[in-house]
Amino acid sequence: MRLLVTGATGFVGRSLVPALRSDGHEVLAGTRNPGNYEGPGTPVRIDLADPATLGAALDGVDAAYYLVHSMESHGNFAERDRAAAVAFRDQAAARGIRVVYLGGLGDLQESAGKSEHLRSRHEVGAILRDGADTVELRAAIVIGAGSASFEILRQLVDRLPVMVCPRWVTTRCQPIAAPDVVRYLVGALEIPAGTYEIGGADVLTYEVMMRRYAAITGRRRLIIKVPVLSPRLSSHWIGLITDQSAAVARPLADGLSVEVVVTDDRIRQLIPFDPVGFDDAVVRAIAEERPPAPARRP
């Protein structure tokens, strides 16, 4: 197939493009700066804020991956994401192109008043499904080197021997390994259109994830839960301790109070495999960052 991957330089896109190429597909790597693209596939310019770039990128394509969304909390991000989704849907629908969208897991009613970003992710999925042949995959935290949520978790554990944490650390989550997300994305080309929830083998609280990451990396950490850290205060705390800016940390912190657990596992019958557990996903993520061992001299 001839496929377009928007967000080809992002965390998920960087792994998806080579996986699709390995399956024999022709891949167009969508990016705003194709001249700077150094990965596999054929770079093509696409800027979702500029609908004029969509037509040329989508012409002759069999399916397109929609892997982009606003991560920062300033400005009217929901309106920007809404407009981009409408323009992309209209162009894809006019060409009969399948759209595969990676959205966010979680109950929309539970997130009301808690996470504007999660509501926006759900809205984008609804827009794409309303007119285009769309498979929407909903995932919680993705465990892999470069994932913003995972990097926050690991940097908090790496850098703080004692953590004073808000109540959201007791929220349940079903993390998923990055390779398993890619496997579902590849398989989404062949399954019926609709919304599917994807997750890993374990359902854990954020506190348990931090403790298990600490154990895997040989650290001892004390976690103290307090009721006074609001999402806004948490985002400043995360922005101060980790490499993520407060603008990015804020929407992520807002979403941490919403339970993100798979309640519909239909996709396991359509794309059958056994997802890995949290510990194995962490070990793989850590290994991805280690440089290969030098070759021994004969």
Q: Record the pTM.
A: 0.90
- Give the domain ranges of the chain: 69-287
Q: Token digits for 188?
A: 């989404």
What CATH code is assigned to 69-287? 3.40.50.720
Q: Each residue of 98-150: pLDDT tens digit? A: 999 999 998 766 544 567 788 888 999 999 999 999 999 999 999 998 888 88
Q: Each residue of 29-85: pLDDT tens digit? A: 999 899 899 889 999 999 888 888 999 999 999 999 999 887 655 557 788 889 999
Residue with tokens 């959201």: 168
In this structure, which amino acid lies at residue 170?
T
| Of residues 127, 53, 117, the one with CA closest to residue 89 | 127
Are 165 and 247 in contact by the 8 Å Cβ rule? The answer is: no
